[in-house]
Amino acid sequence: MSSVMGERVKLTIFGESHGPSIGVVMDGLPAGVELDLAAIEKEMKRRAPGSSKLATPRKEPDSFTIESGFFNGKTTGMALCARIVNTNAHSRDYSKMKEIMRPGHGDYPGYVKFHGCNDYRGGGSFSGRLTAPLVFAGAVAKQLLAKKGVTVGAHVAALAGIRDDRFNPLGETAETLRSMGEETLPVLNPDVRETMAQAVTAAQKEKDSVGGLIECMAIGLPVGLGEPYFDSVESRLSHALFSVPAVKGIAFGDGFGLAEMRGSESNDPMQYRDDRVVCTTNHNGGVTGGITNGMPLVFTLVIKPTPSIGKTQHTVNVVTREDTTLEVTGRHDPCILPRAIPVVEAVTAWTLLDLFYMAERG
């Protein structure tokens, strides 16, 4: 089992949902980088459980301790390690999960792959709890990207069939992208926020859950990040983002809509503007030939409904080898989208930082 991601800057996560702690090790960061710890704490709070009525009631402060690689306010050049203590685990809520598999969850394939040795409490290593270390790493990456003039932001593009406006494909302001981080339920059109919240509450009352779409954008990227084929920007981002629990699909630019266009429609015409080549449309989401083309990077993610729900579901008991039913108890998000947004931004930022270093170091 690999818990490592990255080429020039490597990220390793560790821990389980109900273990003593979780954390992250970041290797390859340069020495002398000043880090704003308050800004990192702010990013962590965006993802932290118990932060709103729309999230799981599990309350974790997600306070971190930097164990190495940081001294006198700057990175030392050694591996940067951060640890987050688990303080509010209710392991007894998962006693049945040792035998009874949750539909839609990683319980069954994990049980088989790891010969029943996997930590089933709270989903163990399959849990969204492991995204907290990703947010820490992404918060560091965002600060390094900001020095390069790059800003990353995301919003709820759709929730339970309720759609928000889309990002302007030719680019949003850095202020607009950063403002998404100030909202519990980030949307561009504030008129849909309450309707979305009501849909989440309705599903929760019915012991169910809802999913949706997240749209993410990065602006300020230069031309030339990424490589053709196996290290394309789409390949690297897709690999990283599919590592986030609940992500089931990704589309760059107009995505599947491109299938309904002709080439004359899907191509992005180019022109010189202030001695700089720009595209007049951005159907391809800022990436052509696997390489950034200088336009805003835009992609949309499919986030499935949370699989742990209170409704009665058909499943199996792997110990007695019988069919059975399950009503999941405990504390679970009726909708993961609001807390997934900072995770998506974080993974995007870390991947882009790695692509920058790949380009700079050859």
What is the rounded CA–CA span in Å between residue 68 and residue 12?
14
Rg of the chain over all Cα atoms, to the nearest angstrom: 21
**Is the separation of the CB atoms in 221 and 285 below 8 Å?**
no
User: DSSP for 302-320?
Assistant: EEPPPS--SS-EEEEETTT
74 in a labelled binding site: no
User: DSSP for 265-287?
Assistant: HHS--EEEETTEEEES--TTTTE
Pick from 76, 60, 56: nearest CA to 68: 76
Q: Is 211 helix (H, G, I), strand (E, B) or coil?
A: coil
Chain centroid, CA 204 distance in Å: 23
What is the rounded CA–CA span in Å between residue 158 and residue 75?
39
Tell the residue number behind the tokens 């995007």, with chain if given: 348
236 in a labelled binding site: no
What is the rounded CA–CA span in Å between residue 177 and residue 196?
20
307 in a labelled binding site: yes
47 in a labelled binding site: yes
222 in a labelled binding site: no
53 in a labelled binding site: yes
92 in a labelled binding site: no
DSSP label of 143: H
**Is the separation of the CB atoms in 170 and 228 below 8 Å?**
no
Q: Which residue positions form the known binding site for NADP(+)?
A: 47, 53
Binding-site residues for FMN sit at 289, 304-308, 331
Binding residues: 47, 53, 289, 304-308, 331
